[in-house]
Structure 1
Amino acid sequence: MNRRQHSWWRGPWGVPTGSGALILLAFGVARVLGSDAVSNVFMVAAALVAGVPIAVKAVRALTAKVISIDLLVSVAAAGAIVIGEYWEAAAVTFLFAVGHALEARTMNKTRSALAELVAVAPDVAVVLRDGEQVEVPAAAVRTGETVLVKNGAKVPVDGEVVAGSGALDEASITGESMPAEKVEGDLVYAGTVSRGGFLQVRATGVGADTTLARIIHRVEEAQDAKAKTQAFIDRFSTWYTPGIMALALVVGLVTGDVVLALTLLVIGCPGALVISIPVAVVAGIGRAAKDGILIKGGEFLESSARIDVVAVDKTGTLTEGRPYLTDVVVLDPALDRAQVLTWAAAAEAGSEHPLARPVLAAAVAEGVGTPGLPEVTEPVPGKGIVAVVGGRRILVGNAALLAVEGVADTVGAALTAHRLAAAGRTPMIVAVDGAVAGVVAVADQVREDAAEMVRRLHAAGVKKVVMLTGDAPLVADAIGAVTGVDEVRAGLLPEDKLDAVRELQAQGHTVAMVGDGVNDAPALATADVGVAMGAAGSAVAVETADIALMGDNLLRLPEAIGLAKRTVSVMRQNITVALVTVTLLLAGVFTGGVTMAIGMLVHEVSVLVVIANAMRLLRRRDDTTPRAQAPQKAPTAPVELATR
Structure 2
Amino acid sequence: MERESCCSSKQSDQTFSVIKENDSSCNNQSEDIETDCCSNSGNSEPAEVNIQGEQQEYRISGMDCPSCALTIEKGLNNVNGIEKATVHYNTGKLKVVGKVAEVEKVVQKLGFTAEPINHSKNIKTYHVEGMDCGSCAQSIENHLNSVAGVANASVSFSTGKMKVDHEISVEDIVSEVKKIGYKAIPIEGRAKETEAKSHNEYRPIVFSGILIALGFIGSFTILSPIISTLLYAIAMVISGYKPVKSAFFAVKSRSLDMNVLMSAAAIGAAIIGEWFEGATVVWLFALGTALQNQSIEKTRKSIQNLMELAPAEAWIKVGSELKKKPVEDIRVGETVIVKPGDRIPLDGDIIEGETSVNQAPITGESIPVDKNSGDSVYAGTINESGSIEVRVTKLVEDTAIAKIIHLVEEAQEQKAPTQAFIDKFANIYTPIVFALALVVIVFLPLFGFGSWGEWIYKGLALLVVACPCALVISTPVAIVSAIGNAAKNGVLIKGGTFLEKAGAIKAIAFDKTGTLTEGKPVVSDVKVITQSEHELLSIAFTLENYSTHPIAKTIVAYAKEKQVQVKQGQLFKTITGKGVQATIDGKLYFAGNLKLFEELNVPLDAMKREIQELQSQGKTVVVIGTETKITGIIAVSDSLRPATASALKELKGAGVDEVVMLTGDNQGTAKRIADEASVTRYFAELMPEDKVNVIKQLRSEGYHVAMVGDGINDAPALATSDLGIAMGGAGTDTAMETADIVLMADNLEKLPHTMKLSRKALAIIKQNIWFSLIVKLIAFVLIFPGWLTLWMAVLSDTGAALIVILNALRLVKFKE
Report the TM-score, using the length of structure 2 for normalisation: 0.67
User: What amino acid does structure 2 have at the position aligned with 1:583?
Assistant: L
1:533 corresponds to which of 715, 727, 734: 727
Q: What SS does the aligned partner of 1:172 have? A: helix
**1:20–1:46: 8 Å Cα contact kept in structure 2?**
no
User: What amino acid does structure 1 have at the position aligned with 2:497?
Assistant: E
**2:355–2:385: 8 Å Cα contact kept in structure 1?**
yes
**What residue number does 2:197 align with?**
11
- Distance of aligned partners of 1:427 and 1:139 in 2 relative to their CA distance in 1, 3 Å threshold: farther
Give 1:588 deviation, angstroms.
Answer: 0.5
Distance 2:324 2:768 in 1: 51
2:331 corresponds to which of 135, 142, 153: 142
1:463 corresponds to which of 657, 667, 683: 657
**What residue number does 1:47 align with?**
236
User: What amino acid does structure 2 have at the position aligned with 1:195?
Assistant: E
**What residue number does 1:550 align with?**
744
**What residue number does 2:320 align with?**
131
1:177 matched to 2:354? no
- Distance of aligned partners of 1:240 and 1:533 in 2 relative to their CA distance in 1, 3 Å threshold: same
**2:215–2:229: 8 Å Cα contact kept in structure 1?**
no
Distance 1:610 1:77 in 2: 24
Give 1:504 deviation, angstroms.
Answer: 1.3
Distance 1:289 1:337 in 2: 46
**What residue number does 2:521 align with?**
323
Bigger CA drift: 417-426 or 22-31?
22-31
**What residue number does 2:799 align with?**
605
- Distance of aligned partners of 1:12 and 1:579 in 2 relative to their CA distance in 1, 3 Å threshold: farther
Give 1:461 deviation, angstroms.
Answer: 0.7
**2:618–2:666: 8 Å Cα contact kept in structure 1?**
no
Per-residue Cα deviation, 1:290-315 (whole angstroms, up to 9, x for no partner): 22222111111111111110111222
- Distance of aligned partners of 1:75 and 1:414 in 2 relative to their CA distance in 1, 3 Å threshold: farther
**What residue number does 1:637 align with?**
none
Give 1:581 deviation, angstroms.
Answer: 0.5
**What residue number does 1:579 align with?**
773
1:165 corresponds to which of 354, 357, 362: 354
- Distance of aligned partners of 1:59 and 1:355 in 2 relative to their CA distance in 1, 3 Å threshold: farther
1:491 matched to 2:685? yes
Give 1:372 deviation, angstroms.
Answer: 10
Please identify which structure carries the higher helix content.
1
**1:497–1:523: 8 Å Cα contact kept in structure 2?**
yes
**What residue number does 1:638 align with?**
none
Distance 1:15 1:52 in 2: 13
Mapping of 1:224-623 within 5 angstroms? 224-256=413-445, 257-327=455-525, 342-343=542-543, 346=546, 348-349=547-548, 351=549, 354-355=550-551, 357-362=553-558, 366-368=564-566, 411=604, 417-427=611-621, 440-621=634-815
**1:284–1:567: 8 Å Cα contact kept in structure 2?**
yes
Give 1:255 deviation, angstroms.
Answer: 2.3
2:410 corresponds to which of 217, 221, 227: 221
**1:468–1:489: 8 Å Cα contact kept in structure 2?**
yes
**What residue number does 2:99 align with?**
none
Percent identity, aligned pairs only, is: 38
Bigger CA drift: 233-242 or 290-299?
290-299
Q: What SS does the aligned partner of 1:95 have? A: helix
2:261 corresponds to which of 59, 63, 72: 72
Give 1:98 deviation, angstroms.
Answer: 2.1
Give 1:420 deviation, angstroms.
Answer: 1.7
Give 1:142 deviation, angstroms.
Answer: 1.8
**2:509–2:661: 8 Å Cα contact kept in structure 1?**
yes
Give 1:12 deviation, angstroms.
Answer: 5.7
- Distance of aligned partners of 1:554 and 1:215 in 2 relative to their CA distance in 1, 3 Å threshold: same
Query: What is the RMSD computed on CA atoms of the aligned residues?
Result: 3.7
User: What amino acid does structure 2 have at the position aligned with 1:262?
Assistant: L
- Distance of aligned partners of 1:253 and 1:147 in 2 relative to their CA distance in 1, 3 Å threshold: same
Give 1:593 deviation, angstroms.
Answer: 0.5
- Distance of aligned partners of 1:84 and 1:29 in 2 relative to their CA distance in 1, 3 Å threshold: closer
Per-residue Cα deviation, 1:355-381 (whole angstroms, up to 9, x for no partner): 454245357664447989999997xxx
**2:478–2:761: 8 Å Cα contact kept in structure 1?**
yes
**How many residues are aligned here?**
607
**1:16–1:94: 8 Å Cα contact kept in structure 2?**
no
Bigger CA drift: 550-559 or 129-138?
550-559
- Distance of aligned partners of 1:215 and 1:9 in 2 relative to their CA distance in 1, 3 Å threshold: closer
Give 1:35 deviation, angstroms.
Answer: 4.2
Distance 2:708 2:270 in 1: 61
Per-residue Cα deviation, 1:312-348 (whole angstroms, up to 9, x for no partner): 1222322233422345678999x976556655555x4
Bigger CA drift: 26-35 or 281-290?
26-35
Per-residue Cα deviation, 1:221-260 (whole angstroms, up to 9, x for no partner): 2222221111111111000000101111121223222111
1:113 matched to 2:302? yes
Query: Tell me, which stretches of 5 or more residues in structure 1 are unaligned?
Result: 379-383, 625-644
Distance 1:418 1:56 in 2: 84
Q: What SS does the aligned partner of 1:148 have? A: strand
- Distance of aligned partners of 1:97 and 1:325 in 2 relative to their CA distance in 1, 3 Å threshold: same
Report the TM-score, using the length of structure 1 for normalisation: 0.84
- Distance of aligned partners of 1:525 and 1:116 in 2 relative to their CA distance in 1, 3 Å threshold: same
Bigger CA drift: 545-554 or 186-195?
545-554
1:25 corresponds to which of 211, 224, 229: 211
Q: What SS does the aligned partner of 1:122 have? A: coil
Give 1:197 deviation, angstroms.
Answer: 1.7
User: What amino acid does structure 2 have at the position aligned with 1:481?
Assistant: D
Give 1:220 deviation, angstroms.
Answer: 1.2
Bigger CA drift: 521-530 or 282-291?
521-530
